[in-house]
Chains A and B, each alone.
Chain A
Amino acid sequence: MVNDKSQRLDRVFSALGDPTRRAILARLARDSALSVSRLAEPFAIKLPAVMKHLDVLEDVGLIRRTKEGRTVTVELSPRPLKAAMDWLQRYERFWEASLDRLTRYAEKKERETPEKDE
């Protein structure tokens, strides 16, 4: 179970590794739901390539596609990003606390060590 979670996070990070996919997400964050053709407009790649990126994003659950008539609408689905954010926040806290103590330790050492050491 837990390993599943870890692998899912890996896949999210991997999906986010591509600049086009990040740009797609950023656009969806700004404009909420967009049709595929409108979403593809600003990109210098062909529609099938955009669709491929959408497949990757949908696979890891970062977006949702809904079809109404002939229009496919793309929406952001934020939960996987929340997991990625949690990872970040957890380690930010971890390292902040560690670096507080590192700083105190190094500054004490500095006071105890003669200058010529450098």
Chain B
Amino acid sequence: MSQVTLVRRIAARPSIVFDALTTSEGMSSWWGPDEGPVLSAASDAKVGGRFCIRFRKLDGTEHECSGEFLEIEQPSRIVMSWQWISGGLPQERERVSRLELHLRPIDTGTELTLIHAALRDEASAGEHAWGWGGALDKLERRFVAVS
């Protein structure tokens, strides 16, 4: 419930997908929620290195997010923290969340799994694994109708 998981099959080998995910050039080509341009992207893809991306949405608003590479296993796994520096949603600006990317080679290229998990501001130990069990799938269906 508190995390988004997406799986994509990409017709490119893992090393190419890995570069697209971690290099400044790669990040500037895809980051952002619509077809608006990425204005700048800087990435120091090593453990402890940081990235910072600024993009403009089609509605003209500019947004900036940044984070730190927490784990890197080329070309199979990347874990980073990230947060909004400006723009985004004001109520989320102080929130640090965690982004995990897993790359698995498949016949046609790469299977990419993206997991974005919300974190609490105060990193209270052990409380990060808010996995939602199957029971909550039912809740989800029920609450989608509530608005």
Interface flags for B88-107 (1: CB within 8 Å of A; 0: not) read 01111011000000000000
CA distance in complex: A93, B95 (Å): 19
Q: Does B127 touch A at the CB level, under 8 Å?
A: yes
- Does A49 count as interface, using CB distance less than 8 angstroms? no
Partner of A23, one of B31, B121, B135: B135
Instruction: Kindly identify which residue among A25, A95, A106 contacts B139, using a CB–CB cutoff of 8 Å.
Output: A25
Given A87-B2, A95-B6, A109-B16, decide whether A29 and B139 contact each other with a Cβ distance below 8 A.
yes
B45-81 interface with A by 8 A CB criterion = none
Interface presence of A34 (CB below 8 A): no
* Cβ contact within 8 Å between A113 and B16: yes
B130 touches A17 (CB 8 A): yes
> What does DSSP make chain A's interface, helix, strand, loop or mixed?
helix
Chain B residues, CB < 8 A from A84: 1-2
Chain B residue with the shortest CB-CB distance to A5: B91
Distance to closest chain B CB from A11 (angstroms): 9
Query: Residues of A contacting B34 with CB < 8 Å?
Result: 97
Q: Does B125 contact A (CB under 8 A)?
A: no
Nearest 7 Cβ contacts at the A-B interface: A26-B135, A110-B12, A101-B30, A102-B30, A106-B12, A2-B91, A105-B29
